[in-house]
């Protein structure tokens, strides 16, 4: 996980450096960042295709997409929080808690599968609500509030599961949530990721919710003075991010056929890295859902390609770390210019 | 309920800030005035394996009328937080400390401190590069890796490409299980090529993605996962790619109900299990001997055993595997 820690350090630095929120940037800058991310993705695909005939096979591509699903869904949800200049460190272990709760509802309590899944997702909403209360109402810094929640969620996942995995063997249909194929050859988890992405895109760019998310991130004080109840909206934003976490938890548990209470640490940093690579600014005020999706794909294409080429795991971490550092570098560079 | 609550207390100890507090709680102990107080510091507590070690230790403690505490960091990467637990244990001055080193070097200064405080140390699972410890009760992981290699080589008819998903590049158990496997193949099976070795941190999801990439990149006939998470990752990869246990022979390590099920279903050829309860039991017994000043062997092999669809339901195997 050294690459992820790297990412966090870079992220914190960038955060400390940016004392003022960036003003709204011209549209072409946003396009540039997304073009850059998209170009990087295409370049990576071409590079690995040239390097190994094994890379561009449907089985491998669907594998890459499936590997993106969990991190991708987490990243999509947390894009909203980061767009408000917040951060959510609780999504990794929060996701694990949602997996465990889905297991408790479906296996231990024997509830019907759809209801158990719904309650599992709502668990994420509750985690988001608590984060939101701490950040928006009590005014705790998001970094600290969600760090605390990260530890609480990890502890609770272990306590509630009795420190052992919960297996969904008795709920056979559960695994088809992630691994069934409504579209032949494409695991449902990938379909869920794209549906969630479409929903997130709609929320961020077509609704008042999205506009307020951006407004809070651009200048929270100005948003408040213009009559927006920023506290209430921030609460809602954290709840929405939490619900995404819940979806990721269900997908994860479904893919593994079990809720593994010890997993999850480090996933939040990978998700945050995907968001940043995709061009959402850590200083808030600018978020991109397609960017996040591309960012998550860049991460998994990169890792998959390096694995296909049998590059040592240590070097894989180094390369991913460099990519994250470069993405944040471009982010701060752009902010400086536009300031 | 009791089990869950105890785990809860241990879970809280995951927060380094609470380590000291936790140690105080335990210091009270349940035993009487005369009962020996033995502190076990493991590599973790979340994994089923460590829960089984703990169970063996608790049984031995009850049998011999001693009091034990069992602590471990939240993740096997948290060397620092494990050292803090070690320090807290020394401060509490128990009769003996049992330690499973996450890092063989980082623990050396604390061994010196324990020696200064005249607290005997015995080790379990993995040792520290210090002469002060009197006994290491552990699986001979190199021998265990060789057992896995022997069965995989036989199953694939002594030829073809195979690959390994290991759980750590650093951790001694992972390194030994890998090396024991590789050395066996190199010595005995010249027609088998180990084409790739990669690491999935023992994370089920990551290991599955690693294994899928490896299967895509090579013409594998066999794979080996060096712990439960790695092995399940390989099994999930094989399943997700729609392959069968006939096309790719998978051998794993440890147990867990998913792995047992995979072996019963034929997705997995078999696995090597350690005897975690014996590790716990022999560790506590070694600690008692150390306190009494008895002579101890340097190393106690707590054993490793091959199991597959044929013997998985035998009583000896079922006593060692866990769900």
Following DSSP, what letter does each residue of B73-112 receive, concatenated?
-SSTT-HHHHHHHHHHHHHH--SEEEE--SSTTTTHHHHH
ipTM of the complex: 0.73
Nearest CA of chain A to the CA of B134: how many Å? 31
Lowest mean pLDDT among A174-178, A332-336, B241-245, B272-276: A332-336
Flag whether B302 is in a domain.
no
Among A59, A163, A169, whose Cβ lies nearest the Cβ of B51?
A163
Residues B90 and B173 in one domain: no
User: What is the C-alpha to C-alpha distance for residues A293 and A91, in angstroms, rounded to an integer?
Assistant: 17
Three-point CA angle B2, B3, B4, nearest 5°: 95
Contact call for residues B235 and B262 (beta carbons, < 8 A): yes
User: What is the C-alpha to C-alpha distance for residues A337 and A25, in angstroms, rounded to an integer?
Assistant: 10
Count of structural domains within chain B: 2
Q: How many CB pairs under 8 A join A and B?
A: 113
Following DSSP, what letter does each residue of A115-163 receive, concatenated?
HHHHHHHHHHHHHHHHHHIIIIIS---HHHHHHHHHHHHHHHHHHHHTT
* Residue B98, domain CATH: 3.40.50.2300
Chain B hits for A59, Cβ within 8 Å: 216, 241
User: What is the C-alpha to C-alpha distance for residues A303 and A191, in angstroms, rounded to an integer?
Assistant: 21
Flag whether B299 is in a domain.
no
Question: What pLDDT does residue A335 have?
Answer: 65
CB contact under 8 A, A256 and B232: yes
Residues B70 and B164 in one domain: no
Contact call for residues B7 and A158 (beta carbons, < 8 A): yes
pLDDT tens, chain A, 339 aa long: 333 333 333 333 333 333 334 445 556 666 776 778 888 899 999 999 999 888 888 888 988 999 999 999 999 999 999 999 999 999 999 999 999 999 999 999 999 999 999 999 999 999 999 999 999 999 999 999 999 999 999 999 999 998 888 989 888 889 899 989 899 889 999 999 999 999 999 999 999 999 999 999 999 999 999 999 999 999 999 999 999 999 999 999 999 889 988 888 889 999 999 999 888 888 888 899 999 999 999 999 999 999 888 888 888 889 988 988 887 787 777 666 655
Chain B hits for A57, Cβ within 8 Å: 216
Residues B41 and B161 in one domain: no
User: What is the C-alpha to C-alpha distance for residues A266 and A317, in angstroms, rounded to an integer?
Assistant: 13
CB atoms within 10 A of CB B132: 15
Flag whether B251 is in a domain.
yes
For residue A265 the two structure tokens come to 């640490």
pTM for the whole thing?
0.76
Residues B131 and B258 in one domain: no
CB contact under 8 A, A169 and B261: yes
Chain B hits for A255, Cβ within 8 Å: 205, 208, 236
Helix H or strand E encompassing B301: strand B299-301
Residues B269 and B176 in one domain: yes
Instruction: Tell me which fold the domain A2-9+26-338 belongs to.
Output: ABC transporter involved in vitamin B12 uptake, BtuC (1.10.3470)
Residues B188 and B132 in one domain: no
Residues B95 and B178 in one domain: no
Chain B hits for A309, Cβ within 8 Å: 217
Task: Outline where B93-203 has alpha helix (H).
Answer: 108-116, 141-155, 172-188
User: What is the C-alpha to C-alpha distance for residues A319 and B167, in angstroms, rounded to an integer?
Assistant: 20
For residue B25 the two structure tokens come to 């709680």
For residue A208 the two structure tokens come to 């008042």
Domain range summary for chain A, segments of one domain joined by +: 2-9+26-338
Give the domain extent around B184: 141-274+308-318
User: What is the C-alpha to C-alpha distance for residues B256 and A257, in angstroms, rounded to an integer?
Assistant: 13
Residues B105 and B33 in one domain: yes
Residue A323 CA from chain centroid, whole number? 17
Following DSSP, what letter does each residue of A56-101 receive, concatenated?
TSHHHHHHHHHHHHHHHHHHHHHHHHHHTT---TTHHHHHHHHHHH
> What is each CA distance from B302 to A58, B205, B279, B290, in whole angstroms?
46, 30, 6, 18
Strand, coil or helix: A259: strand
User: What is the C-alpha to C-alpha distance for residues A207 and A205, in angstroms, rounded to an integer?
Assistant: 6
Residues B170 and B312 in one domain: yes
């Amino acid at each position: 996980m050294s690459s992820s820690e790297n990412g966090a350090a870079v992220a914190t630095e960038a955060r400390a450096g940016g004392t003022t929120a960036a003003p709204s940037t011209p549209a072409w800058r946003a396009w540039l960042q997304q073009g850059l991310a998209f170009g990087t993705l295409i370049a990576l695909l071409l590079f690995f295709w040239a390097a190994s005939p094994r890379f561009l096979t449907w089985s491998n591509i669907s594998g890459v997409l499936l590997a993106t699903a969990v991190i991708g869904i987490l990243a999509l949800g947390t894009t909203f929080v980061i767009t408000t200049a917040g951060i959510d460190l609780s999504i990794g272990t929060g996701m694990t808690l949602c997996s465990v709760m889905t297991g408790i509802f479906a296996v231990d309590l024997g509830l019907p599968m759809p209801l158990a899944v719904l309650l599992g997702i709502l668990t994420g909403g509750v985690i988001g609500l608590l984060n939101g209360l701490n950040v928006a109402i009590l005014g705790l810094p998001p970094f600290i509030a969600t760090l605390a929640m990260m530890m609480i969620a990890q502890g609770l996942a272990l306590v509630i599961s009795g420190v052992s995995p919960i297996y969904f063997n008795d709920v056979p249909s559960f695994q088809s949530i992630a691994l069934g194929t409504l579209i032949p050859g494409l695991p449902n988890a990938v379909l869920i990721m794209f549906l969630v992405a479409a929903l997130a895109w709609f929320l961020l760019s077509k609704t008042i919710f999205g506009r307020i998310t951006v407004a809070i991130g651009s200048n929270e004080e100005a948003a408040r003075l213009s009559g927006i109840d920023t506290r209430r909206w921030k609460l809602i934003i954290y709840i929405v991010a939490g619900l995404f976490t819940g979806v990721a938890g269900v997908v994860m548990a479904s893919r593994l056929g079990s809720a593994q209470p010890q997993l999850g640490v480090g996933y939040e940093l990978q998700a945050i890295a995907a968001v940043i690579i995709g061009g959402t600014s850590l200083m808030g005020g600018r978020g991109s859902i397609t960017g996040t999706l591309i960012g998550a794909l860049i991460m998994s294409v990169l890792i998959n390609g390096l694995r296909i080429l049998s590059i040592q795991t240590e070097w894989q971490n180094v390369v991913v770390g460099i990519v994250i550092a470069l993405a944040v570098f471009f982010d701060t560079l752009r902010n400086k210019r536009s300031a | 309920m009791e089990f869950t609550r105890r785990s809860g207390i241990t879970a809280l100890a995951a927060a380094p800030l609470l380590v000291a507090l936790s140690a105080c709680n335990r210091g009270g102990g349940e035993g009487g005035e005369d009962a020996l107080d033995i502190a076990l510091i493991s590599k973790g507590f979340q994994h089923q394996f460590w829960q089984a070690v703990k169970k063996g230790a608790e049984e031995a403690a009850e049998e011999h009328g001693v009091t034990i505490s069992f602590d471990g960091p939240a993740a096997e990467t948290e060397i620092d937080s494990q050292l803090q637990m070690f320090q807290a244990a020394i401060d509490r001055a128990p009769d003996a400390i049992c330690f499973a080193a996450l890092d063989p070097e980082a623990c050396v200064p604390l061994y010196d401190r324990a020696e200064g405080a005249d607290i005997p140390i015995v080790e379990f699972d993995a040792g520290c590069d210090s002469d002060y410890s009197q006994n290491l009760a552990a699986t001979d992981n190199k021998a265990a890796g060789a057992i896995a290699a022997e069965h995989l080589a036989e199953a694939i008819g002594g030829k073809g490409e195979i690959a390994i998903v290991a759980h750590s590049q650093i951790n001694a158990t992972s390194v030994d299980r890998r090396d024991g496997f590789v050395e066996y193949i190199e010595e005995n099976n010249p027609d088998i090529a180990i084409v790739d070795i990669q690491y999935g941190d023992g994370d089920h999801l990551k290991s599955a993605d690693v294994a899928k990439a490896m299967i895509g990149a090579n013409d594998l006939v066999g794979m080996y996962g060096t712990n439960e998470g790695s092995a399940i990752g390989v099994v999930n990869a094989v399943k997700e790619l729609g392959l069968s246990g006939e096309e790719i022979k998978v051998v794993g390590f440890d147990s867990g109900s998913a792995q047992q099920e995979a072996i019963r279903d034929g997705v997995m050829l078999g696995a090597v299990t350690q005897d975690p309860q014996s590790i716990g039991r022999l560790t506590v017994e070694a600690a008692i001997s150390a306190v009494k000043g008895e002579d101890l062997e340097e190393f106690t092999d707590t054993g490793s055993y091959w199991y597959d669809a044929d013997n998985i339901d035998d009583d000896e195997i079922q006593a060692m595997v866990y769900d």
